[in-house]
Amino acid sequence: MATTMATTRVASVGRAGAAVVRRRSAGDGEHGVPESERQIERFWRLWTGSANCRALVTASARGAWPRDAAFVESRVRALVRVFDLESTGVDVAVVCAREPRVLTLTAEDATRAVVRLKRAVPEITGRVLNLAPGLLLCDVDAVRAARVALEGEYGAVEAKRRVRESPDVLLDMLNFFDDDGRHGDEKTRQYTRAVPPVGDTSAVDAMLANRESAARKFHVNRDDVVGGTSTRRAK
């Protein structure tokens, strides 16, 4: 039986009054929409379920980009178009939810950053960026120097293993995080444990299901109001 899809926009308003747009499909949830739309839906579920992202929105001034749902989604869509999950290994939804400041990069900036990082440190793959997306915001020469220092301390084989399995080590060496696990005013240190690796899809699905109900207490779902006219959610 063909699945009937109805895409609606639900504004989830956080405590700070920031509108977050989430996409819904009637029938069978996110699996009833194209892959690109599924990634957008997944991003919003990760975003609204992330304490780090909620803290960023709350701490941001009125009119700042974290409070602009249209801007945020446009950046995510641009990155999804560039970084195909299957071919690049970069999970845009996870990267942006773990390190929201990646959304300050244009798709072109992000592409250049990935290319330069891979040239500087060959062990940096899509999975490594999923685990430590903060690398996209770091100076490439500094990342290269940290990798050289890591090899000098542990040897080539162990250095490669550490970068592949625990890339946060490079961010630690670059003092990316403050002593209490923050970078700037935003909480980011825990992102490698907050969202499972991209390869663990079952864990991601289970986490999203658990967070869906928990996130509701931080948001008030309501119908969109377009031009003063309320549009009801499709049933």
Q: By mean pLDDT, which of 2-6, 45-49, 111-115, 146-150 is the weakest?
A: 2-6
- DSSP character at residue 177: S
Higher pLDDT, 14 or 209: 209
Q: pLDDT (tens digit, 9 = 90+) per residue, 162-192?
A: 999 999 999 999 998 754 444 443 434 444 3
Give CA torsion, residues 208, 196, 3, 41, to 10 deg: 70
Which pLDDT tens digit goes with each residue over 24-64?
Answer: 444 444 456 677 888 999 999 999 998 889 999 999 999 99
Asked if residues 76 and 92 have their Cβ atoms less than 8 Å apart, the reply is yes
What would the two tokens of residue 131 be? 């685990």
| Chain centroid, CA 190 distance in Å | 13
What gap in Å lies between CA 80 and CA 176, rounded to an integer?
26
For residue 210, name the pLDDT band (cuts at 50, 70, 90).
low
> What per-residue confidence (pLDDT) applies to 64?
94
pTM: 0.65
| pLDDT score at 14 | 39
Q: Which residues are CB-contacts of 5 (< 8 A; sequence separation ≥ 6)?
A: 25, 26, 27, 32, 33
